[in-house]
Structure 1
Amino acid sequence: MIDYKNGIFAVDSDYVRPILDAIHVIEDSGELAIIDTAHNGAWPQVEAALSEMGRKPDDVRWLILTHVHLDHAGGAGLFMSKMPNATLVVHERGARHMADPSKLYAGVEVVYGKENAKRLYGDLLPIPESRIQVGKHEDKLDLGKRTLEILDTPGHARHHISIVDHAAKGIFSGDTFGLSYRELDVDGKAFIFPTTTPVNFEPDAMHASIELIRSFKPHGIYLTHYSQVTEVDKLADDLHHHIDALVDITNNAPGQGDTRKTAIQAAMTDYLLKEVRAHGCNLPDAEIKAIFATDLDLNAQGLEYWKQQEEKKAA
């Protein structure tokens, strides 16, 4: 567990590999909020972290999901069953999927395959509608003496929210503010990259959400992948640059369908390696590709799907 000394803690979810997927806990005056859950297998790590903090599951007031992709929300049903006093907060587009996760899980099987979906996420537990609260733009949530504010931040997904912790001057951005893996840090400087997974990547909306997050002038942004980054203005500029580059790669990729998706992934991989090198990271190419392996595949799927939708609009 990482204690940022501002009431925010990061817990590694043990999803796929270490330092891939962070769950964040906010503590104030004995009350707790948890941001995202990863998968069912994360509960033991979270329970141990609460114990280390001198808290227990009964102290959790809010479980807030940035969005309902299962590397963020796969454990929500199990977590809620363990936290009797918690209310789940989720975007209105995601609420129904938490009450009945069957359609959500079916969609995940399409993206990951049935065997991988089962291995990664197990069984999704439904959450009673009475324990679900829709989080709308600029809604305020009380937590001890601090206030958490919900922001509607589409671009990665239309059911995506971010959470402002005004006391800590921090924002929990889920996937809207990209991915920043700690293995690529150079002299304390972070490398950041967009995540364009299917099926709701929308570049204009992502650009706008990044600017909304930047407008709060946060001291830190807490990413699910992976935790705190602090050079907010630079990283926002980097994200804008990368988004535009990925759109250009997609628009220039030859072919259709799987052929184009393969071309997008190959060009994106070359671009990523070039940008990581420019950042000053000297990890071998194979190691960088391994770190981003799932992201490169999902990004390419999402970019191909976005391109198909753009072509339909133009037809």
Structure 2
Amino acid sequence: MTSCPVVDGRPLDPEVVRPLGYGVYQIDTLFQRAHFDAAYLIVDDGHAAFIDTGTGLAVPRLLAALDALGLRRDQVDWVIPTHVHLDHAGGVGPLMQHLPRARALVHPRGAPHMIDPSVLYMGALAVYGQAEMDRSYGTLVPVPAERVVESEDGQQVPLGQRVLTLIDSPGHARHHHCIWDPVSRGWFTGDAFGLSYRELDIDGQPWVMPTTTPVQFDPAAMRQTIARLMASQPECMYLTHYGRCAPVPPMATQLLALLDKVEALGLRLKKAPDRHAALCQGLSQIYRASLLATGSTLPANEIDHLLAMDIELNAQGMGVWLDKLPD
């Protein structure tokens, strides 16, 4: 039997909180399935910050992580969603109710939606429907305006003995920022550096794909964000979907190559009849071919099963992007 990791003499259940080194901990929110949606907790000199929270249904797991690490609720200084999509920020409001000193640090385009999440909820409802909202997202809770801080590009945020840096990072969403941790030399990327699932690893190496989900996909902005992230020469990326990923340079090369193919697919199908179905089919073919080229031996139907939700949502997002382009 594999023993649990021990931090400060305290055994940790890796299914609740997984230490990644340098005071960084990963929490599986169990959104949709295991190993799909991560929240992170940074701990430094008695101070803590959550980065992304998952949905409101994940809050008990986030609080359990604090308990497992022996942290009091009032030791959490910040709750920092990378952006306000509900799988990243749906838990901010209910989590803040348990953290008396914490402030929510939110991109200025997203901050109003944390204070009044009604528009955010209705937008998600239009995409997912009521049954899925009830099953996967739960109720949204407003954050009091006085507890919300709007981030700035280049903002530095002290946390214990380290200083985090936030940068504006559009491409997936215009209300997205990424967080740089100088101690681990890693970026908390939300969805700005794509998605990478451990089931798709090839010989222990991550395979990463761009996410084009509704409604603000912008391939040019995404390339600029990736370049800006890479300029720091990061040693790892902390992806919400899913986990700490390294080495970074080959991931960036592969991500940009796939982004080129996805953009070309969309432009080719802009006027296609039954465009959505064609985009889904085209995305599936691109992902399968990329995985095959990098040595994956997974059957095509298993790849499609693992990526089914992403293919559907990515196609929807590409449709919104294509409709905004001039004829």
TM range (shorter): over 0.9
1: CA distance, partners of 2:270 / 2:89: 35
Structure 2 counterpart of 1:220: 236
Q: How far did residue 188 of structure 1 move?
A: 1.5
Name the counterpart of 1:72: 88
- Whether the 8 Å CA contact 1:91–1:135 is kept in 2: the answer is yes
Contact 1:254 1:263 survives alignment (8 Å) = no
CA deviation profile, 1:221-277 (whole Å, cap 9, x unmatched): 1000001111211111111111110011111126458x1111011011011111111
Paired residues for 1:87-236 under 5 Å: 87-236=103-252
Larger proportion of helix: 1
Contact 1:156 1:195 in 2 (8 A): yes
Selected match of 1:84 from 96, 100, 110: 100
- Deviation per CA, 1:29-50: give whole Å up to 9, x if none: 0100100111112112112211
Give 3-state SS (helix, strand or coil) of 1:93's partner: coil
Q: Which residue of 2 aligns with 1:252?
A: 268
Is 1:20 aligned with 2:28?
no
Whole-angstrom CA distance in 1 between matches of 2:314 and 2:218: 12
- Separation in structure 2 between the aligned mates of residue 58 and residue 286 of structure 1, nearest angstrom: 47
Give the Cα separation in 2 of the matches to 1:233 and 1:183.
Answer: 21
Give the partner amino acid of 1:46.
L
The equivalent residue for 2:22 is 6
Mapped to 2, the partners of 1:5 and 1:243 lie a distance apart of 31
- Partners of 2:18 and 2:270 in 1: CA distance: 45
Shift of 1:66: 0.3
Q: Deviations over 1:155-199 (max 9, x none)?
A: 000000000011221110000000000111122211000000111
Query: In structure 1, how many angstroms separate the alpha carbons of the residues matched to 2:150 and 2:66?
Result: 26
User: Is the contact between residue 270 and residue 322 of structure 2 (CA under 8 Å) also seen in structure 1?
Assistant: no
The amino acid across from 2:121 in the alignment is: Y
1:266 aligns with 2:281: yes
Residue identity opposite 1:37 in structure 2: T
> Identity of paired residues, percent?
40
Q: Distance in 1 between matches of 2:176 and 2:21?
A: 27
Residue 259 of structure 2 aligns with which residue?
243
Q: Distance in 2 between matches of 1:228 and 1:38?
A: 16
What secondary structure does 2:288 align onto? helix
Does the 8 A contact of 2:39 with 2:54 survive in 1?
Answer: yes
User: 1:288: how far off?
Assistant: 1.4
CA distance in 2, matches of 1:192, 1:254: 25
Task: Report whether the alignment pairs 1:289 with 2:285.
Answer: no
1:301 is the counterpart of 2:319: no
Aligned length: 311
Matched position secondary structure for 1:123: coil
Give me the TM-score of the superposition, normalised by structure 1: 0.96
Pick which of 34-43 and 281-290 moved more. Answer: 281-290
State the alpha-carbon separation in 2 of the partners of residues 58 and 291 from structure 1.
Answer: 39
For residue 110 of structure 2, give the secondary structure of its aligned residue in structure 1. helix
User: 1:63 maps to what in 2?
Assistant: 79
Question: 1: distance between equivalents of 2:249 and 2:212?
Answer: 21
Match of 1:31 in 2: 47
The amino acid across from 1:290 in the alignment is H
Q: Is the 8 A contact 1:175 1:225 kept in 2?
A: yes
Distance in 2 between residues matched to 1:206 and 1:225, nearest whole Å: 17
Q: Of 283, 295, 318, which residue of structure 2 is paired with 1:280?
A: 295
How far apart are the structure 1 equivalents of 2:250 and 2:287?
A: 17
8 Å CA contact 1:39–1:70 kept in 2: the answer is: yes
In structure 1, what residue type is equivalent to 2:132?
N
